[in-house]
Amino acid sequence: MSDFASNLALGFSVAFSWQAMWYCFVGVSLGTFIGVLPGIGALAAIALLLPLTFGMEPAHALIMLAGIYYGSNYGGSTASILLNLPGTPSSAVTCIEGYPMSQQGRAGVALFMTAIASFIGSICGMLIMAIFSPPIAALAFSFSAPEFFSLMVLGMVAASTLASGSPLKGLAMIGLGLILGMVGRDLYSGLLRFSYGVDQLYEGLPLVAVALGIFGLPEVIKNAGQITGRTVEARSISFASMWPTRDDWRRSWGAMFRGTGLGSFFGALPGTGGLLASFMSYATERRVAKDPSRFGKGAIEGIAGPEAANNAAVQTAFIPTLTLGIPGDIVMAIMLGALTIHGIQPGVSVINNHPDLFWGLLVSFLLGNFLLLILNIPLIGLWVRILAIPYWVLYPFIIAFICIGVYSVSNSVVDLYVLMFFGVLGIVMNILRFEPAPLVLGLILGPMLEENLRRSLTLYRGSYTVFLTRPISALFIGIAVLILAWTIYGMFRARARRRAALAAGEE
């Protein structure tokens, strides 16, 4: 207990320094602004702003990037409620109940409740991270190369099969990401692989260019043609109109805590993230409701639960990322890249070797979420006015900032070519309904997966049975196989249902 108190004291000393508080404020403010704007998202924003952190202390850099991440989840619900356009993917479920409430003249209540639910989910997620991260890190010290390889396999299988979209397409994207991760210098021989004479690729494909190309450009281009003519009056939302009724509070409290529990669980699982947590929370609220017919027409618990789940998942996603080096979701994969850029090896050594970074980041969540609560409620009118700006005015500036951010990483024109290539690839993937997130996850985890595979085979004389004879490794492999089997069973079952429905229709 004394160690825990001393660690928290260290975290407060780091997070409440003037520099850290400034970077936290900048991060959550930018995150909220980015979350409000449809079509950008936390992933593209973090990849774009990553070069700005190169001269910072690692703890300050991570505090700012994390603020952008959970700040965007706060802001993402604003466009969902007012315009029926999710600012972030995980806020898509908020559209279902938030937009009907807006049409009923209760947009202020919906926005206020999302801020409260997000705050409660974030704080509870932060406490869970503080309690469970040290024991998980201590357990991970018993891991060796086979266990880390198996855990990465489990994370990638979960990310590709539990996310939205076709599981087979997700697995295909993981495979493509692993292949792209082989570009660059060989880990053992030092020779260049698959660079085709481009020396600038000796460290692999540039992560910022790939992420912005595959996520940022397609979303901006897609929304440039879709977001037209939908505006909302800022004057229609006053502080008096934001206060929930007693019935709203009664319906929301239970939903918030159920959502927090679901979000904390799914956020800590590698590869799942806030999107799955939000939809699971919404499904749970519909199931436990006494009158499910209210849903889809402005049920406030359908906002409170998913928002709490979403933000709790954001906080607990840092647990596997910082303790095991396995990203909780795709944004956490970018965070892993940021840690590596700053010379910090992600994994079990972070808590022991860099306690100021870990505990400073954790305490900054407390500060950042209070700032977000203060910022979001009074500034709702400002966000509404920003949403009134035509998107055709904004997107040329967004694309220009993307190109500047990519070029500034290494001042290489090759990075711009990579950006354009993956931008076109991202557009094609969107048309064909391939999920881009597993590809980036495979690209980032590919080198680590290869390193642990080759190290395992070197230590155990080329025997692949080591992954099944070591208990923890076998457990991870077994869970991955069960997930695959369940996914395949679900696909065949859904196909059988479609065939039965078609047969019944023909009759």
> What string of pLDDT tens digits covers the 507 residues of the chain?
557 778 778 888 888 888 888 988 988 888 888 777 665 667 767 777 777 777 788 888 888 888 888 887 777 777 777 766 665 656 667 777 777 887 777 777 888 888 888 888 888 888 887 787 777 767 666 777 888 788 788 877 876 765 556 778 888 888 888 888 888 888 777 778 887 878 778 778 887 788 778 877 776 777 666 544 445 554 555 566 677 778 878 888 888 888 888 888 777 766 555 666 777 787 778 777 777 777 777 788 888 888 888 888 878 888 777 777 777 666 777 777 777 777 777 766 777 777 888 888 888 888 888 888 777 766 766 666 666 666 677 677 777 777 876 776 677 888 888 888 988 898 888 888 887 777 877 887 788 788 888 888 888 888 888 888 888 889 888 988 888 888 888 778 877 887 877 777 665
Q: 398 lies in which domain range?
A: 2-228+246-506
Tally of structural domains, the chain? 1
pLDDT for the residue 95: 74
Structure tokens at 177: 């990401």
The maximal CA–CA distance of the chain, rounded, in angstroms, is: 73
pLDDT for the residue 386: 65
Residue 21 lies in a domain: yes
Residue 235 lies in a domain: no
pLDDT for the residue 228: 47
Residue 341 lies in a domain: yes
Task: Give the global pTM.
Answer: 0.69
Closest by alpha carbon to 305, among 290, 287, 328, 318? 287
Residue 163 lies in a domain: yes
Main-chain phi, psi angles of 353, to 5 degrees: -85, -25
Instruction: Write the CB contacts of 326 (distance below 8 Å, at least 6 apart in sequence).
Output: 151, 152, 155, 270, 320, 445
Residue 240 lies in a domain: no
Residue 443 lies in a domain: yes
Instruction: Write the CB contacts of 317 (distance below 8 Å, at least 6 apart in sequence).
Output: 267, 268, 273, 274, 327, 328, 329, 331, 332
Residue 237 lies in a domain: no
pLDDT for the residue 344: 78
Structure tokens at 316: 């607990």
pLDDT for the residue 164: 55
Alpha helix (H) ranges present in 16-93? 18-36, 41-49, 58-83
Whether the CA torsion 444, 445, 446, 452 is positive or negative: it is positive
Residue 233 lies in a domain: no
Residues 141, 15: Cα–Cα separation, whole Å = 27
Whether the CA torsion 49, 55, 57, 58 is positive or negative: it is positive
pLDDT for the residue 237: 59
pLDDT for the residue 471: 86
